[in-house]
Amino acid sequence: MSLLDQNWGAGGSAEDEAQDENQQGRPITTNRDGTLILIECAPQMFETLANQMKQDSTFDEDDEDAQLTTGFQLVMRACQRFYQSKIISNDKDLSGIILYGTENSLNAFDFKHIYILHELAQPSAERIIQLETLSNKDTFRAKYDELFGSTQATGYSLNEALWTCSNLFSNSPQRLTIKRIFIFTCNDQPHASNLTLERQAKQRAKDLHDVGIQLEVFPILTESITKFDFKKFFQDVLMLSDEDLEIRNNQEPTGRLNELLKLVYSKEHKKRAYCTVPFSLGKSSDGTPLEFSVSVYNMVRPCPKPTKIKLDMKTNLETKIVTKHYLPETAEILMPSDIQYGLDVANRRILFDSDEIKAIKKFGDSGFELLGFKSLSCLLPHHYVKPGHFIYPDEKYVEGSSCLFNALLKKCLEKKMFILCQFTARRNTPPRLVALTAQAEEVNKKIKNDRLASNGFHVHYLPYADDIRTLPKNDTTRAANDEVDLFKNVIRGLKFKYRPDKFENPALQTLWRNIEATALNKGEPDEFIDLTIPSVENQNRKISGYVDELKQMIFPPGYVMGTTKKSAAAKRKAETTSSPSSAKKTKPDEDVDVEAAAKSNLLSKLTVPMLKDYCRDKKLKASGTKKQDFIDVIQSHLGIAQ
């Protein structure tokens, strides 16, 4: 066993696969993140957004972005959406909002012009409603003046604002895994006239960085501030290298809400590895293992619906489920040490104890083990088993992993080969055959320094021989060439560029919109446009020229589109069964005296069709379609007391 084995293990979140109690590696702890949003309330934040922040954007009168005319509104709406996303993605995370540069002050440290709008806590419906009011174009100005004062403050200190954030993190009752401060500002040099405040703010930012608190700045451009230069002040605050500074200054700020949220989410996204494992290339001549370190990331994870919680009907408290095993003959409760596991094989029961079960599950240590190389042409679509992973070198445990990893990646790209490996994600999980396909770095040619894909290997799970099913071979009639060409035209007309990030899960979105409407006391949930439903009109327009030709070429004469053999046979059967026998059933209905039955209080004995026909003849209108509704209107018509 390698000396590094004690460090290998899962570094992912608790949402991923649970770690076995005896598994080696870094333990998984409950991850709870904290985010503080620091918003500058300078006069420029209430100016109209800069023109360049709205370029290439077409607004409708009902468009949400069209209602956000100032930087303050835009930031408040972004905070509202951030809270809502936290409730859906991870409601255990803590968030808070601090405003600096306000006339009024509200903080526990007696700092002037600093107002803690929301303490560090989990998002709630009340907070979301308040942020919606502060972003609404009709109410935000009055609400701002009521809470923070109508006069704009001067001489406020960013150092004190950052100190407030640091104290909120320190006083948090919850242990936070990641601490972030998001600064929204329109001023690229807040203390240009006071070098002492500028030096204090930079030193405070350095202290926060030393204790592991991440800082991020989101510039807001207005009519009077059309450029944001990170070099003046925030390069030292964020500790940016010259290369990072160039990237930041070349980024174009946005006034679109969706684009701003996308930028916020990219900074807030948890880049946690699913696991960190060794990649073994074999052993050298002296028996020393040759291996480097890689981190495994999940590219796709199903997003589940929230689980239901069972509550006590009287107290509304959450119930607990307790499972107990007992003997049916004596009702004796069994302890875990009294339980064995069995398996029936060939009319014989084979017994296992817990230690034997653990020994059966153990196949080896976690990691990738190289088996060989194969051509990419050997990897077929039906070999897909389940969503895979993406691996990237990790220098933390084996120095030089990046160099060896990149050399392997380069050769696989040159020779168009994939790596066949045995992959064991965790110590007590069974090994899987995987194919590692190389991916080269891809950069967006339109946007400078925008990376679309990173260097690395995609991990594809491969089936074992036991997983492959043999399909029956049926000799079907081959279509003629002209029929094939016609269908090619149809397929070509219906093709479109598919992007999975453009299709939201309709079931999840409908559920969360209804929950949100209930929590925020909305009359109706927000409208959701289901993009998974095809546009029939567009499809018909694209292939209308081929429909008649398809009918004539493939279907028999007189065929009606949309009907099947069963539906046609059922229709013919219905026509043939409409015989005099059905008329005999309805004939007695015509001889029923409804008025006599009403006077005898026997209307309840009549059928609904009888009562409905009488109301139709007398032009009576019932209040509903139930039997009692027809009885009430008939009795009222005849003047009979109900």
Identify the pLDDT of residue 6: 35
pLDDT in tens, 409-439: 999 999 999 999 999 988 878 899 999 999 9
Instruction: Please state which CATH class domain 594-638 belongs to.
Output: mainly alpha
- Which position has the higher pLDDT, 247 or 459? 459
Q: What does the block give as tokens for 11?
A: 């570094």
Question: Does the pLDDT at position 570 exceed 80?
Answer: no
CB contact set of 137 (below 8 Å; sequence gap of 6+):
67, 68, 69, 73
Identical fold for domains 33-51+63-270 and 274-301+364-467, yes or no, is: no
CA atoms within 13 A on the CB side of 244: 9
Identify the pLDDT of residue 203: 94
Give the dihedral sign, CA 311/312/317/321.
Answer: negative
Residue with tokens 């009319």, as numbered in its chain:
347
Question: Does the pLDDT at position 17 exceed 50?
Answer: no
Q: Of 368-377, 470-479, 525-534, where does the model show the most confidence? A: 368-377
Q: Which of 101-105, 143-147, 367-371, 451-455 has the lowest mean pLDDT?
A: 451-455
Ordered DSSP codes for 427-447: TTS--EEEEEEEE--EE-SSS
What's the mean pLDDT in 334-345? 86
Residue with tokens 């196949």, as numbered in its chain:
363
pLDDT in tens, 611-620: 888 888 888 8
Instruction: Please state which CATH class domain 481-554 belongs to.
Output: mainly alpha
Contacts 24+ apart (CB under 8 A), 249-254: 250/448, 250/449, 252/52, 253/50, 253/52, 253/53, 253/219, 253/220, 253/221, 253/228, 254/53
Question: Does the pLDDT at position 25 exceed 60?
Answer: no
What are 325's strand-pairing partners? 334
Q: Which of 39-48, 375-384, 472-481 has the lowest mean pLDDT?
A: 472-481
**pTM assigned to the model:** 0.65
Whether the Cβ atoms of residue 606 and residue 635 lie closer than 8 Å to each other: no
Percent of the chain with pLDDT over 90: 25
Identify the pLDDT of residue 452: 76
Q: Where are the domains of the chain?
A: 33-51+63-270, 274-301+364-467, 481-554, 594-638
| pLDDT confidence band for 270 (50 / 70 / 90) | low
| pLDDT confidence band for 68 (50 / 70 / 90) | confident
Pick the CATH number of 274-301+364-467 from 3.30.70.260, 2.40.290.10, 3.40.50.150, 3.40.50.80: 2.40.290.10
What are 222's strand-pairing partners? 49
Question: Does the pLDDT at position 493 exceed 70?
Answer: yes
Q: 33-51+63-270: CATH homologous superfamily?
A: von Willebrand factor, type A domain (3.40.50.410)
Cα(149)–Cα(142) distance, rounded to whole angstroms?
10
CB contact set of 466 (below 8 Å; sequence gap of 6+):
none
Cα(581)–Cα(587) distance, rounded to whole angstroms?
10
What's the mean pLDDT in 170-199? 90
What's the mean pLDDT in 166-184? 91
Indicate the average pLDDT of the chain: 81
Identify the pLDDT of residue 449: 61
Give the closest residue to 447 by CA, choosing from 186, 254, 236: 254
